[in-house]
Amino acid sequence: MIRQCCRWLAVALWGLFLTETAQAASPIRPTETVRRKVLPEAWFAWLLLTPAMVFIAVIIAWPLVETIRLSFTDADLGGESYVGVANYVDLMESRRFRQTVTTTFYWMFLSVGLKLILGLIGACLLNAAVPGRAVFRMLVMPPWVIPIAIGVIGWLWMYNGYFGLLSGMGQRIGLFDGPYAFLAGRTSAFYSAVVTDVWVGTPMITLFFLAAMQGVNRDLYEAAWVDGAGRWYRFRRITIPQIMPVIVSMALLSAIWTFNSFDIIFILTQGGPRGATTTLIIDTYKVAIGNFKFGEGAARAVVIVVLLATFSALYLFLLNKVNKTYGVK
């Protein structure tokens, strides 16, 4: 409690100081000249930047540095000692970890690919001039609006072999001989998780693509139509290039989100069966939080950061090339 009081006091004093300083810099203050003399302009600028810099340092820089430091230790519940690069060597030598990396990238590319394709199709359909278009646009939203945990638990029930909707429907139409447990097989569990992730992620991508499509200049379509261009040609040569920056941006963001997607897999399968749906983030959680091996978990987290940073750099490089190809500045 005392520590909390001190914190509040510090915040209050800081706030008071900033308020007074800001008032000093305000053009409507009659004492402007006097106050400016007290605090030079450059100092004042740094002073205003300080809270943001402290915020970034505390929220981003410190955890990152601490994670990197921890990754060189064997930290667990009982304490920590320096182990050098042993955690990283263990990871590189682990066949299971390499399998997890492969699974993660397969999961990411498949899921993001499907989301982009379905998002593009959905956006085209919603962009079409059909009656009740507003209603259809609203109907796209629920998977994204529903809290992920609730939506995924719904899917968990649907995937159940005995009491699930999908298995029941499959049996009725003769697809399955008996109950089919989607989450019980390695392959079916993986693709079931992908389907759920696509269900959750597609609506947002659809809406972004839709917004981008609505921003395309109509004159381009009319000119192309006058020249005899067909629908597919107009889509390929006008729509796609015009919305390419949005496509690439969404692909990158979606890739990062999917790479780090935790809740969907954890609720559905906890990474099983036998690691079939264990991605890097699930593995990191299990090691660091589940087994309290903070050092080993931190090494995994650092690997994730490096992989994502590399992937992002590569992606931005490709984006630049693609934009040049399509003439987008």
Partner 1 sequence: MTPIKTLAIGATLLGSTAMPAFAESHATEMHVIMCGDEVFPADQVVIDEFVATHDGVTVNLESVPWSNCQDKSLTLAAAGDPPSLAYMGSRTLRQLATNDLIVPVTFTQEQMDAFQPGVLKTVTYDGQQWGLPHAFSTKALYLNCDLIEAAGATCEAPATWDDMMALAQQVVDNTDAAGIGVAGKDFDNTMHQFLNYLYSNGGQVIADDGSVALDSPETRETLEFYASLVSVAQEGVLEWERDAMVDLFNDGQIAMYINGPWGWGRHNEEINQMVVPVPAGPSGVSGTLLITDSIVVFNGSGHEDLALELASAMTSGQAQYELDNSWGLTPILQYEKLGFSDLFYEADPAHWANFISSIPTGGPEPLITDYRSLQAVFVNMIQGAILEEDSIDNLVSIAAEELADAL
Q: Which of 55, 191, 292, 317 binds partner 1 (CB under 8 A)?
A: 292
Q: What is the DSSP string of 66-127?
A: HHHHHTTB--BTTB--B-TTHHHHHHHH-HHHHHHHHHHHHHHHHHHHHHHHHHHHHHHHHH
Q: Provide the minimum distance between the beta carbon of 74 and partner 1 in the complex, in angstroms, as a whole number.
A: 13
- Region near partner 1 per CB under 8 A, out of 30-38, 253-261, 273-281, 298-306: 273-281
Beta-carbon neighbour count of residue 27 at 10 Å? Answer: 5
Site string for partner 1, 41-80 (x = CB under 8 A): -----------------------------------xxx--
- The smaller minimum CB distance to partner 1, of residues 33 and 187, is found at 187
Taking CA atoms, 23 is separated from 4, 42, 52, 256, 271, in Å, by: 28, 16, 19, 42, 55
Site for partner 1, residues 173 to 192, rule: CB under 8 A: 178-186
> Does 157 help bind partner 1 (rule: CB under 8 A)?
no
> Does 162 help bind partner 1 (rule: CB under 8 A)?
yes
Rounded Cα distance, 101 and 91, in Å: 11
Q: Provide the minimum distance between the beta carbon of 159 and partner 1 in the complex, in angstroms, as a whole number.
A: 8
> Does 266 help bind partner 1 (rule: CB under 8 A)?
no
Site string for partner 1, 92-131 (x = CB under 8 A): ----------------------------------------
- The smaller minimum CB distance to partner 1, of residues 7 and 236, is found at 7
Q: Provide the minimum distance between the beta carbon of 154 and partner 1 in the complex, in angstroms, as a whole number.
A: 16
Classified as helix, coil or strand, 217 is coil
> Does 168 help bind partner 1 (rule: CB under 8 A)?
no
The one-letter amino acid at 40: P
Q: How many CA atoms lie within 13 A of 225 on its CB side?
A: 6
Residues contacting 274, CB < 8 A, separation 6+: 186
Q: Provide the minimum distance between the beta carbon of 21 and partner 1 in the complex, in angstroms, as a whole number.
A: 11
**Cβ-based burial of 102 (10 A; exposed 0-12, middle 13-18, buried ≥19):** exposed
> Does 21 help bind partner 1 (rule: CB under 8 A)?
no
What angle do helix axes 294-326 and 86-93 make, rounded to 10 degrees? 70
Q: Provide the minimum distance between the beta carbon of 160 and partner 1 in the complex, in angstroms, as a whole number.
A: 7
Type and span of the H or E element at 241? helix 240-259
Tokens matching residue 265: 């897999």
> Does 16 help bind partner 1 (rule: CB under 8 A)?
yes
Interface positions with partner 1 (CB under 8 A)? 1-2, 5, 8-9, 12-13, 16, 20, 76-78, 159-163, 178-186, 269-275, 286, 289-293
